[in-house]
Structure 1
Amino acid sequence: MSLLKLPRVVLRLILVALWVIVGLLCVGLVYPFLSLSARAWLNRYWSRRLMSFCGIKVVVSGEALLTGPVLWVANHVSWIDIFVVNSVRATAFVAKSEIRSWPLVGWLAAGAGTLFIERGQRHAVQAVSEAAQARFRQGAAVGLFPEGTTSVGDTVRPFHASLFEPARIAGVPIQPVVLRFLHHGQRSPLASFVGEETLAANIWRVLGETGLCVEVEFVAPLSTQTAEGQPMTRLELSKQARSAILERL
């Protein structure tokens, strides 16, 4: 890293660290006394400020469903994704259980209501499905990264369809969300968190840069019926969501 970037990284690390401490204190001391709507407002505000402290601009387009239950389905590029979407609306994301053990990011994701799935466990999908339906009944937004892993952001891997089932059963709108990462106005994999890179190394690189931007596009909710008027299966819904994201990526 250039020595010119070092002061920027140090300053941002201090700001982020202090903001994370504020977030953890809110989760532990304030959340128990807040209503669901107040928690949602606090999540959104905290996430917006976090992105600002990281030097990341968030640009939103499309008609996001900001009230009522919804399943938001997004492509997955980085640890940043959860906080970018939460800056628009507080969202309980379904995420791999490994994230829970990540320093700071994992603690905050848990505090924000993330639904962790134990991959490889027989009853994992059923448990997450029940938790998601409980959130839907509360009128909440649930987020899903159906690829199951991250990419550099230029394509979309095949989707796992099983976690579309809770929204299909509940009749909840399913809205695709497209995340595009830019660096000084050009599409870039700079912030992507892939391969064997450590979380610390990725955060260090991101905090050292200027001109990072995430474009968040909310696509129209999916059709839930076939041309013949029959309810779509979870596989059909997952294919429709992937196509909608891929053509706008």
Structure 2
Amino acid sequence: MAPFLFLFRFVCVSAWILLGLLTELLVFPVLGRVRRRRVVGAWSRVLLRLCGVRVRPVGAPVARGAVLWVANHVSWVDIFVLNSVRTTSFVAKSDIRRWPVIGLLVAWAGTLFIDRRHRHAVRDAGRQMRACFERGDAVGLFPEGTTTDGSHVLPFHAGLFDAAVQARVPTQPVALRFLKHGRHAPELAFVGEQTLVANLWFLLGARGVCVECCFLAPIPASAGLSRGELAQRAQAAISAAVRGESA
């Protein structure tokens, strides 16, 4: 850990976050949807640099047209990591919206929040996802429903895969691997009872942090899979990549 490095990065990140929030309030209202998405992508790339996080895409991400990106969930930075590759509308549990500051940022980044306590939450989220697909957007999903330390992948909740099945768009599994000096770094995960402040201490004070985004082979809509089969195939592919069995 490097306290001075942490302090320097914390000040820079705080200023950048403030600028982002001001951009949302003052600039976004006069920008069209395409320009707003470009701003979010560029802002995410700068945020990660200020955090000391290098993103290394592996494989071929679907860069154009509607696609469902399905990823394992490790940290609060996951949304910005994927946004740095392609601006994406994410589906996330409503709890994230209540996180201090980060909740505002992920909402600004175009996140679709789902409150599973509500009876029709999955159906409503699916409708929003299909609207994104109709615009040719990428939609991101963390179907584990929680974070892990990145060493394994939990079973996937299949409900929201139905939107991709109904819209007949491809699903691309994405394995996120958090590394420090080339080794798996579970201490960087935002998991368990850890506070956001504690996680920032580990992340902003660390050197040599890299997040590998392993874009795996897309599962075409023509495969004719049910939402449960699609979820299982995506989970198996990501789990193998996380264990280093594929890339």
TM bucket (normalised to shorter chain) is over 0.9
Written as runs of structure 1 = structure 2, the 5 A alignment for 1:130-169 is: 130-169=127-166
Whether the aligned pair in 2 keeps the contact of 1:224 and 1:237 (CA below 8 Å) is no
User: Could you tell me which amino acid in structure 1 is paired with residue 56 of structure 2?
Assistant: V
Whether the aligned pair in 2 keeps the contact of 1:40 and 1:89 (CA below 8 Å) is no
1:232 is aligned, of 190, 205, 225, to 225
* Counterpart-to-counterpart distance in 1, 2:151 and 2:118: 31
Whether the aligned pair in 1 keeps the contact of 2:169 and 2:220 (CA below 8 Å) is no
Aligned to 1:82: 79
Aligned to 2:68: 71
User: Could you tell me which amino acid in structure 1 is paired with residue 240 of structure 2?
Assistant: E
* Counterpart-to-counterpart distance in 2, 1:25 and 1:161: 37
* Counterpart-to-counterpart distance in 2, 1:140 and 1:31: 19
Written as runs of structure 1 = structure 2, the 5 A alignment for 1:149-228 is: 149-225=146-222
Written as runs of structure 1 = structure 2, the 5 A alignment for 1:106-145 is: 106-145=103-142
Alpha-carbon distance, 1:26 to partner: 1.3
Alpha-carbon distance, 1:208 to partner: 0.9
Q: In structure 1, the residue corresponding to 2:160 is in which secondary structure?
A: helix
- 1:61-101 Cα shifts (integer Å, max 9, x gaps): 11111111111000011101111000001111111101111
Whether the aligned pair in 1 keeps the contact of 2:169 and 2:221 (CA below 8 Å) is no
* Counterpart-to-counterpart distance in 1, 2:166 and 2:221: 11
Query: Identity over aligned residues, as a percent?
Result: 50
Whether the aligned pair in 2 keeps the contact of 1:177 and 1:216 (CA below 8 Å) is yes
1:37 partnered with 2:49: no
Aligned to 1:48: 45
- CA RMSD between the two structures: 1.1
Q: In structure 1, the residue corresponding to 2:26 is in which secondary structure?
A: helix
User: Could you tell me which amino acid in structure 2 is paired with residue 241 of structure 1?
Assistant: A
Aligned to 2:235: 242
- 1:182-220 Cα shifts (integer Å, max 9, x gaps): 011111202101111111111122111111110001111
**Number of residue equivalences:** 242
Aligned to 2:245: none
1:12 partnered with 2:9: yes
Alpha-carbon distance, 1:235 to partner: 0.2
* Counterpart-to-counterpart distance in 1, 2:225 and 2:240: 21
User: Could you tell me which amino acid in structure 2 is paired with residue 62 of structure 1?
Assistant: G
Alpha-carbon distance, 1:137 to partner: 1.3
User: Could you tell me which amino acid in structure 1 is paired with residue 41 of structure 2?
Assistant: R
Return the TM-score normalized by structure 1. Answer: 0.94
- 1:148-186 Cα shifts (integer Å, max 9, x gaps): 000110111000000000111001111111101101111
* Counterpart-to-counterpart distance in 2, 1:62 and 1:25: 35
Q: In structure 2, the residue corresponding to 1:87 is in which secondary structure?
A: helix
Structure 1 unmatched ranges of 5 or more = none
* Counterpart-to-counterpart distance in 1, 2:28 and 2:63: 21
